[in-house]
Amino acid sequence: MFMIVMVLIGCSSPFSAIITVTKVMESARSQYDAIYQQGLVSGEVEAKAQLAWSSYQKAATVAADALEASQTTGDQSGYKTALAVVKAAVNAFIDAITPVISGNQVTKLKRDANLASKL
């Protein structure tokens, strides 16, 4: 997760969407982890969250590689596709943890993830 942020330090505004999406995921994961540590996460939610987290990690790795390639080639099509997959993975994680976080937090996370779509 932090890998994308490190790769993107110093990148120009066209890549601000991936930074925003990474921050949303960090926030969602942090909230989930706090609730998990309190023992308030059911086995079903935990399984869904783990699957969504794994999908996010894979998508983030592909996006980081695509970003690097786009900087070399100038072709952003692969990066844009990878970014869409990362956004979908973030939304899937938010959906998975919705039963254990407050409705206000779900709304904020979804709003912030949607904002990344407009960058």
Does pLDDT of 12 surpass 60?
no
Q: Domains, the chain, ranges and CATH?
A: 15-117 (1.20.120)
Decide if pLDDT at 117 tops 90: no
DSSP H stretches of helix in the chain: 2-8, 16-37, 43-73, 77-97, 103-117
Residue 115: per-residue pLDDT:
85
* pLDDT digit string, tens, across residues 44-58: 999 999 999 999 999
Of 87 and 117, more confident: 87
Summarised one tens digit per residue, pLDDT across range 60-107 is 999 999 988 998 999 989 999 999 999 999 999 999 999 999 999 999
Q: Name the amino acid, one letter, at 26.
A: E
